[in-house]
Chain A
Amino acid sequence: MSDCERGEETMKEIKCTACERGCTLRADSDLYEITISGNKCPRGKEYALGEYINPTREVTFNVRVRGGSSPVVSAKTAYPIAVTKILPLSRLLLKLSVDAPVAEGQTLFASLLGERIVSTSAVEKEAL
């Protein structure tokens, strides 16, 4: 049973990263409502809500390439992904590779843990 289900209040401290000031925000929630405090501006509230409910990030990787002029190609997730997925996804990617050639913006994997992985540079076939 999570804290919420027990009807207890839960609290999370969040460092706002929406601007240089870096206010320390606090999200308190009970069953019905999430309250944000500590923000010096409205952007902070929005940020803290997102960060409390489902924090997401843009993540980039190097993906192994077989038979290419470079051994790796840089890649990113097509959309920001949940923070909890970052490490599992990165571990999975370490075991995978793609075949050269790779074009910039090509979909390397359509669905890894439900996320699409797109290349951010091009790799040619290795000259024989």
Chain B
Amino acid sequence: MRTTDVFIIGGGPAGMAAAASAGASGLNVVLAEAAELGGRMMTHIEGGVGESMFGETMTGPEFVSHCKKMLSGMRNVKIIHSSVISVSRDREIETLGASNNVFKAGAVIIASGGKDRQFAACGIRCPSGIEGIYSASDALAAHCLYGRRIGNRAVIIGAGSDALTVARRLALEGTMVTGVIERRPFLSTSARMRQECLDDLRIPVYVSAEVMGLKGDKRVREVLVRTPQKEFSLRCDAVVCAVGRVPDASLIPYVSCDDNGIAEVDSHYMTDTAGIFIVGGALHSCGLCDCAAAEGGMAGYSAAEYARHGVISDRREFIRKGNCIAYVLPVRATAGRYADVSIRVTETMDSGTLVFRDGSGNIVKQTEPRMLNAGKEIRLRLSSEEIGEGECLTVSAEKKQ
């Protein structure tokens, strides 16, 4: 058995940021990545990432090469190419490999990313064994890693940022996008994404639209769509299912998760099993890069602290969800420290505020009224005074005129 101080699983933005910050502590760090370093960043060839780590924005591949350079300068960070099969409660990590494939670590960080939500999960009927259906990640990988197109005419289901990124990539590289279909009455992405990915390229988008089914014999040929006004069908030979990503804590099935499958973490991203941390897409749908990298950086630092001392200062539950909140994380915080919280609301409000109340109902913090978008996580920082000493806060979303 080999030993290390901090063991990181996954070499995407979260994992690389964790390796960099844990490595900066001088402890021994092992990062295990089954494929190439970079994860989904290698297929995000668009710009706009890296601000939080390098103070400037760049494209995904450039971000990865920046990270690689930084990590290669750290002697105490070792990168191994193998996949992890299991992680035990007492932090024994079994990896695929010939010999010496079990590690014992002082702290473990799960940064292995989320999974694409599958077609079946959104209740779309689709003839079994039909060809031409891709996930967003597959579609991007086909273009950016394998240099292949997925079809001549594509329909995209979902209109989150992943979906829009795929739409733009296909349209720029010779596949006609006949429609982007969103179930909700609005797009959950920023106005900028919409302008640049759809409007500039004249890609039609249908909101409040439902997919009634797919048609085709061997390969998909048509998508049947229904909007409140009409029913119609879109011709295509490829369908990209980009209906979001789901967290994946399957390596650590023993930690407590909420009903969305999101592991309960404290503000260091440590789970309720001591010494085991989880960040980025594996924890929640955190967007592409900067948020994942920021979480990784935080967890790396704290994991090093845990590996060294066996504890991180006191933690307690400090926040619960109230009305109209789908989830809030983290749920535990360290006394005397700020906490960055991520919140998702259950319904979109044109103008709403997030209200934080203490145990006796007094308002501790209230955000400026603005659009609260159910399709997007809201992030904000609570100061140590706002978190307070004893009582647990409740956060709720309220409509404001």
Query: Taking beta carbons and an 8 Å cutoff, which residues of A are in contact with B?
Result: 15-17, 20-22, 55, 57-62, 64-65, 70-72, 74-76, 83, 86-87, 90-91, 94, 104, 120-122
Using a Cβ–Cβ cut-off of 8 Å, how many residues does chain B contribute to the interface with A? 31
Please give 11 more A-B residue pairs, beta carbons under 8 A apart, in addition to A61-B45, A120-B62: A17-B191, A20-B370, A21-B371, A57-B196, A65-B147, A71-B148, A72-B146, A91-B174, A94-B173, A104-B62, A121-B64
B window 139-193: CB within 8 A of A: 143-148, 171-174, 190-192
What are 7 of the A-B contact pairs (CB < 8 Å)? A60-B47, A70-B147, A71-B147, A75-B45, A76-B47, A120-B59, A121-B64
Chain B, residue nearest A74 (CB): B45
- CB pair B174–A94 under 8 Å, yes or no, is yes
Q: Which residues of B contact A22 (CB under 8 A)?
A: 190-191
CB within 8 A of A57: which of B145, B173, B200? B200
Residue of A16, A62, A83, A122 touching B143 (CB-CB under 8 A): A62
Query: Which residues does chain B contribute within 8 Å of A21, judged by CB atoms?
Result: 370-371
With contacts A15-B195, A104-B65 known, is A76 near B190, CB below 8 A?
no
Residues of the A chain whose Cβ atoms lie less than 8 Å from the Cβ of B172: 59, 61, 86-87, 90
Cα distance A122–B42 in the bound complex, in angstroms: 12
Q: Are A60 and B192 in contact (CB under 8 A)?
A: no
A59 to B45, CA, bound (A): 10
Which of A64, A70, A74, A90 is within 8 Å of B59, CB to CB? A74
Q: In the complex, A58→B45 CA distance in Å?
A: 11
Q: How far is the CA of A118 from the CA of B42 in the complex (A)?
A: 17
Whether B287 is near chain A, meaning CB under 8 Å from some CB there, is: no
- Report whether B194 and A60 are in contact in the complex, using a CB–CB cutoff of 8 Å: no
Shortest C-beta distance, B43 to chain A (Å), equals: 9
Q: Which residue of B lies closest to A60 (CB)?
A: B45
Residue of A with least CB distance to B200: A83
Q: Answer yes or no: B61 CB below 8 A from chain A CBs.
A: yes
The distance in angstroms between the C-alpha atoms of A104 and B139, with both chains bound, is 24
B51 at interface by CB-CB < 8 Å: no
Q: Is the CB of B144 within 8 A of A74?
A: yes
Decide if B130 is an interface residue (CB 8 Å cutoff): no
Query: Which 4 A/B pairs are nearest by Cβ-Cβ distance?
Result: A71-B147, A17-B192, A22-B191, A121-B61
Of B47, B62, B172, B196, chain A has the most CB atoms within 10 Å of the CB of: B172
For B371, the chain A residues whose CB sits under 8 A away are 20-21
CA distance A106 to B174 in the complex (A): 24
Point out the residues of chain A lying under 8 angstroms from B61, CB to CB: 74, 104, 120-121
Q: Take A21-B371, A74-B144, A83-B200 as given contacts and tell me if A120 and B45 are in contact as well, using a CB distance cutoff of 8 Å.
A: yes
List the B side residues contacting A121 at CB < 8 Å. Answer: 42, 61-62, 64-65
Complex Cα gap A60–B192 (Å): 16
Report if B96 contacts A (CB, 8 A). Answer: no
Q: Which residues of B contact A16 (CB under 8 A)?
A: 191
A94 CB to nearest B CB, Å: 5
Bound CA span A127–B312, Å: 48
